[in-house]
Amino acid sequence: MSGSKSKYKVLLAQPRGFCAGVERAIEIVEQALEIYGAPVYVRHEIVHNKRVVDTLRQKGAIFVEEVDEIPDDSVTIFSAHGISEAVENEARLRNLPIIDATCPLVSKVHKEGQNHSANARDVVLIGHAGHPEVEGTMGRIPGAVHLVTNLADVETLKVADENEVAYVTQTTLSVDDTRDIIEALKQKFPKIIGPDVRDICFATQNRQQAVRHVTDDIELLLVVGAQNSSNSNRLREIGTEHNIPSYLIADAAGFDTDWLEGVTTIGITAGASAPEELVEELLERLKECGEIDLELVAGVEENIQFKLPPELTDASNTSDGSTIKA
Ligand code: SF4
């Protein structure tokens, strides 16, 4: 019937959006602002999301890329992705009051790598070059660390002793790609040691599983997240691997109505650093294009919460926030 409104079924993947590590990192900045007052300085985007960064900036956070941009005595927060030892040392040498928002699951990978190194093993880090988490992890492990991103890297990899090798992984990789790389490493170094459970974090795994759950039923996948968000890119890749047109968009403004051509069922998810309000805004945008039949797809329920660092919990018990450590 001419003039009738288009209808779209929208499958909303669950879980999606904020993970426990991101919620903790944002809370750290908010509490630091409350306890110590503005400004507080954050090295690197606290999490990879412009909306989150802009909101915190409005509240008084100042984002910098390097420690030398931070004025003396200013409260200094390290982002959820973690930092290298060199960066931490630079801040400590200047006696900057530090609050570390590194996700505890990233810190766990740092510790694993350090243990391997202390046992004289070459460490293979499976991850993406240039990602801040990878830079931080490489800079936390003394001794030989080899970054591998794909199977070709495994083929050309050379280590000091093939019997003394271990691997760790970036927390936000594709479960499937990592499985293949680990398999190739095991073929090449039969004695290689790795984590009992993959280092890929629960949030990344759950979000990927939730997308896989809807791929048979959708003709378009929209992932809300930043272009530089590793876990968001992996979600988009899952759609592409299933031959579904898949787009990673920062917000509703990034949505192109041409993508709806011939589409009746749309899957929507969001990366671990994307706030739910961005998903809601995208749904509003879709409603302008047609009638929406929204279905929440049942998925894993997450109830993990990470503790805040002592610099905040101790300081909030004092009137002047005086317990922050340099
Ligand atoms: S995605 Fe995983 S590792 Fe990264 S902040 Fe969230 S919980 Fe931590």
Q: What is the pLDDT of residues 272-308, one digit of tens each?
A: 999 999 999 999 999 999 999 999 999 999 999 999 9
H/E stretch holding 117 reads helix 104-118
Which of 26, 44, 46, 105 has most ligand 1 atoms within 8 Å of CB, for mutation?
105
| In contact, 121 and 162? CB cutoff 8 Å | no
Q: Is the pLDDT of residue 121 over 90?
A: yes
User: What pLDDT was estimated at residue 177?
Assistant: 86
Please report where in the chains the tokens 């919620």 appear, as a residue: 23
- Taking all residues of the chain, what is their mean pLDDT, rounded to a whole number? 94
Nearest protein Cα to ligand 1, atom 8: 21
Mutate to test the pocket of ligand 1, among 26, 79, 103, 108 (most ligand atoms within 8 A of CB): 103
Atom 6 of ligand 1, nearest CA residue = 21
Residue 325 clears pLDDT 70, i.e. is over it: no
| Ligand 1 site, residue 272, Cβ cutoff 6 A | yes
**Residue 99: CB atoms within 10 Å:** 24
User: What is the CA 136 to chain-centroid distance, rounded?
Assistant: 13
DSSP conformation class of 48: S
What integer pLDDT is reported at residue 40 of this predicted model? Answer: 98
Residue identified by tokens 């909306």 is 51
Active-site annotation holds for 133: yes
Helices (H) and strands (E) in the chain, counts: 11, 12
Instruction: Indicate whether residue 26 lines ligand 1 (CB < 6 A).
Output: no
Convert the pLDDT of each residue in 136-169 to its tens digit: 999 999 999 999 999 999 999 999 999 999 999 9
Determine the Cα–Cα distance for residues 178 and 263; give it in Å rounded to an integer: 32
Distance CA 3, CA 74 (A): 60
Q: Is the pLDDT of residue 319 over 90?
A: no
User: For the chain, what percent of residues have pLDDT higher than 70?
Assistant: 95
Return the residue whose CA atom lies nearest to atom 4 of ligand 1: 21
From residue 143, alpha-carbon distances to 118, 155, 165, 190, 264 in Å are 8, 21, 12, 21, 54
Q: How far apart are CA 147 and CA 230, in angstroms?
A: 16
216: left (phi over 0), alpha (psi -120 to 50) or beta: alpha
Distance CA 119, CA 158 (A): 18
Phi, psi dihedral angles at 213 (to 5 degrees): -65, -30
Residue 226 beta carbon below 6 angstroms from any ligand 1 atom: no
- From residue 312, how far is each of 35, 40, 46, 179 by CA, in Å? 8, 13, 16, 38
What's the 273 CA to ligand 1 centre distance in angstroms? Answer: 9
Q: Has residue 323 got a pLDDT over 50?
A: no
* pLDDT for residue 326 is more than 50: no
* Whether the CB of 309 sits within 6 Å of ligand 1: no
Q: What is the mean pLDDT of residues 236-242?
A: 97
CA of 7 to the centre of ligand 1 (A): 36
Query: Is it the case that residue 317 has pLDDT exceeding 80?
Result: no
Which residue, chain included where needed, has tokens 């390097």? Answer: 66
pLDDT at 118: 97
99, 35, 106: which is closest to 70 by C-alpha? 99
Closest alpha carbon to 133 in 109, 99, 155, 157: 109
Indicate whether residue 173 lines ligand 1 (CB < 6 A): no
Of ligand 1's listed atoms, the one at least distance from the Cα of 171 is 3
Query: What average pLDDT does range 61-79 have in this prediction?
Result: 98
Ligand 1 lined by 47 (C-beta under 6 Å): no
pLDDT in tens, 96-109: 999 999 999 999 99
**274 within ligand 1 shell (Cβ under 6 A):** no
Q: pLDDT digits over 171-207, tens only?
A: 999 998 899 999 999 999 999 999 977 789 999 999 9
Please check the confidence at residue 318 and state whether its pLDDT lies above 80.
no
Domains defined along the chain, listed by start: 7-18+202-296 (3.40.1010.20), 20-104+305-317 (3.40.50.11270), 105-188 (3.40.1010.20)
Report which of 216, 217, 254 is spatially closest to residue 232, judged by C-alpha positions: 254
- Read off the pLDDT of residues 3-45 as tens digits, 9 standing for 90 and up: 578 999 999 999 999 999 999 999 999 999 999 999 999 999 9
Return contacts of 143-152, CB within 8 angstroms, 24+ apart: 143/117, 144/117, 145/113, 145/117, 146/122, 148/124, 148/181, 148/185, 150/177, 150/181, 151/180, 151/181, 151/184
> Of 45, 112, 133, 237, which is the active-site residue?
133
CA of 105 relative to ligand 1 center, distance in Å: 7
pLDDT value of position 196: 72
Residue owning the nearest CA to atom 2 of ligand 1: 201
Of all atoms in ligand 1, which is nearest to the CA of residue 106? 3
Position 178, amino acid: T
pLDDT score for 315: 74
Res 2 pLDDT > 70: no
How far apart CA 304 and CA 324 sit, in angstroms, is 26
Q: Which of 22, 169, 209, 230 to mutate to test the pocket of ligand 1 (most atoms within 8 A of CB)?
A: 22
Q: Which run of H or E residues covers position 51?
A: helix 50-59
